[in-house]
């Protein structure tokens, strides 16, 4: 029997789920021009399936317009369907961006960063995930045995990533149960978030075709190590490509430009955590002494800092290597909202001319309150509800985020939090494991 290959035209929605509609691959050229119809209320479908109260109800029409640069096609051979999808922007029928589209939000922030300050961002998302194709064993952290037991998964996965055009970096067994980590090379602007989608979906595709599951849930169980998404980023001049992050005269190497940008991220971090740590179980991970982010502090090579200055290797140019890592994110959040929130907060720091961020010496939970006050360090929200409250109360980023997107997101996530309120932490973890 002849088979008709299908392409899924997708959006990464407010729940961090990748949803869309399929069309015959033979129609790609026409779909690149006209897109495919979409419904506004689709954005209110939660990760758990229930639809949050929608401001649009059954009314209205939008269109998903594909970006050919985001097209991914992986050939899994004659016994399996190809993995074939393309990311798009949710637009009005006249082609103008719809305010609640996460990808269009990121595009707005990227454009504002260049228009106001002549800067672009280079970013890479470092992902941790659990793979159930291996037996959970003690003392498997970073172990050759844990690498061996996943057999062909890693080779197939990295081969698929390479086929999709991503720059391969590392793959390793991580510290947590059934946990692995994958890193790929950086990309500029929106392409970095497109790559994050590809990294997640290709892992799921490879696992599915081998009869297993890859889950990017924020945390497997309450007592486990979490699955973080660490966003590495650096700034460069749009006109020249020159990096602007490093100043050799500064004690920790921070330039005034990068220092103001990072200061904005730190100042707005309690509010944007609602966008970057987007599930109820995300906050089981964001606790002190778990090698995760629990405070809005800047750390120098500190893997518990909210933002850390990453190490520089002596063999390469320091200015080209020098960059930062945002650590309070996970894959329950759309990568477009994650990167957009980070850049919006950094843009605020540049617009306000904030002073260069100060490095926190030591673990914030062990420091005196007067030092924390001087550095502007506070504990990040400890629940999704608290994070949403902080996000709602902050008005400095509303213009760049947009009132429509902000209100839709708040309604969506408050409804999700309410869905989970009667479940234990362990029960919530199991539900999110299946969702992500």
From the candidate CATH numbers 3.40.50.300, 3.30.70.260, 3.40.1190.20, 3.30.590.10, the one assigned to the domain spanning 105-435: 3.30.590.10
Q: Kindly report, residue by residue over 381-394, the tens digit of the pLDDT.
A: 999 999 999 999 99
Q: How far apart are CA 118 and CA 350, in angstroms?
A: 11
Contact 119, 172 (CB under 8 A): no
Domain boundaries, the chain: 6-99, 105-435
What pLDDT sits at residue 396? 97
What pLDDT sits at residue 315? 60
Tokens of 269: 């971090």
Residue 77, classified by CB atoms within 10 Å of its CB into exposed (0-12), middle (13-18) or buried (19+), is exposed
What pLDDT sits at residue 289? 86
Selection from 393, 396, 423 nearest residue 410 by Cα: 393
Contact 174, 52 (CB under 8 A): no
What pLDDT sits at residue 317? 84
Q: Kindly report, residue by residue over 120-172, the tens digit of the pLDDT.
A: 999 999 999 999 999 999 888 899 999 999 999 999 999 999 999 999 999 99
SS (H, E, C) the chain: CCCCCEEEEEEECCCCCEEEEEEEHHHHHHHHHHCEEECHHHHHECCCCCECCCCCCCCCCEEEEECHHHCEEECCCCCCCCEEEEEEEEECCCCCECCCCHHHHHHHHHHHHHHHHCEEEEEEEEEEEEECCCCCCCCCCCCHHHHHHCCCHHHHHHHHHHHCCCCEEEEEECCCCCEEEEEECCEECHHHHHHHHHHHHHHHHHHHHCCCCEECCCECCCCCCECCEEEEEEEEECCCCCECCECCCCCCCECHHHHHHHHHHHHHHHHHHHHHCCCCCHHHHCCCCCCCCCECCEEECCCCCCEEECCCCCCCCHHHHCCEEECCCCCCCCHHHHHHHHHHHHHHHHHHCCCCCCECCCCHHHCCHHHHHHHCCCECCCCHHHHHHHHHHCCCCHHHHCHHHHHHHHHHHHHHHHHHCCCCHHHHHHHHHHHC
Q: How far apart are CA 254 and CA 258, in angstroms?
A: 6
Contact 278, 350 (CB under 8 A): no
From the candidate CATH numbers 3.30.830.10, 3.30.450.20, 3.10.20.70, 2.40.480.10, the one assigned to the domain spanning 6-99: 3.10.20.70
Residues of the chain with pLDDT under 50: none
């Amino acid at each position: 029997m002849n088979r008709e290959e299908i392409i899924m035209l997708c959006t990464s929605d407010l729940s961090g789920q990748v949803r869309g509609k399929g069309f015959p691959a033979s129609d790609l050229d026409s779909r690149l021009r006209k897109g495919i119809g979409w419904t506004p209320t689709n954005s209110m479908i939660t990760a758990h399936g229930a639809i949050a109260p929608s401001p649009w109800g059954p009314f209205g029409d939008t269109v998903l317009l594909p970006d050919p640069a985001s097209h991914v096609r992986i050939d899994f051979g004659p016994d399996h369907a190809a993995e074939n999808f393309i990311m798009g922007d949710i637009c009005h029928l006249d082609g103008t961006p719809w305010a609640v589209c996460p990808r269009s939000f990121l595009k707005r922030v990227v454009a504002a960063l260049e228009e106001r300050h002549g800067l672009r961002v280079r970013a890479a998302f470092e992902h941790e995930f659990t793979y159930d194709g291996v037996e959970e064993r003690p003392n498997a952290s970073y172990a050759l045995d844990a690498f061996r037991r996943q057999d062909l998964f890693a080779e197939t996965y990295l081969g698929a990533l390479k086929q999709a055009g991503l720059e391969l970096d590392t793959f390793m067994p991580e510290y947590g149960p059934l946990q692995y980590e994958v890193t790929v090379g950086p990309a500029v602007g929106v392409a970095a978030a497109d790559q994050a989608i590809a990294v997640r979906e290709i892992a799921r595709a490879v696992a599915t075709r081998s009869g297993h599951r890859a889950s990017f849930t924020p945390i497997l169980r309450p007592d486990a190590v979490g699955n973080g998404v660490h966003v590495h980023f650096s700034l460069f001049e749009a006109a020249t490509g020159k990096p602007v992050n490093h100043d050799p005269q500064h004690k920790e190497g921070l330039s005034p430009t990068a220092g103001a940008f990072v200061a904005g991220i730190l100042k707005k971090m309690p509010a944007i955590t609602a966008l970057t740590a987007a599930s109820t179980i995300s906050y089981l991970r964001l606790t002190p002494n778990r090698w995760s982010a629990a405070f809005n502090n800047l750390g120098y090579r500190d893997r518990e800092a909210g933002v850390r200055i990453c190490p520089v290797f002596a063999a390469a140019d320091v200015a080209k290597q020098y960059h930062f890592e945002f650590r309070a994110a996970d894959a329950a959040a759309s990568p477009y909202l994650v990167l957009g929130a980070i850049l919006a907060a950094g843009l605020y720091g540049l617009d306000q001319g904030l002073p260069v961020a100060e490095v926190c010496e030591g673990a914030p939970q062990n420091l005196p309150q007067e030092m924390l006050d001087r550095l502007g360090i506070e504990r990040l929200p400890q629940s999704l509800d608290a994070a949403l409250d902080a996000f709602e109360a902050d008005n400095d980023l509303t213009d760049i985020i947009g009132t429509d997107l902000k209100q839709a997101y708040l309604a969506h996530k408050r409804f999700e939090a309410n869905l989970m309120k009667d479940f234990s932490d362990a029960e919530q973890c199991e539900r999110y494991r299946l969702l992500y």
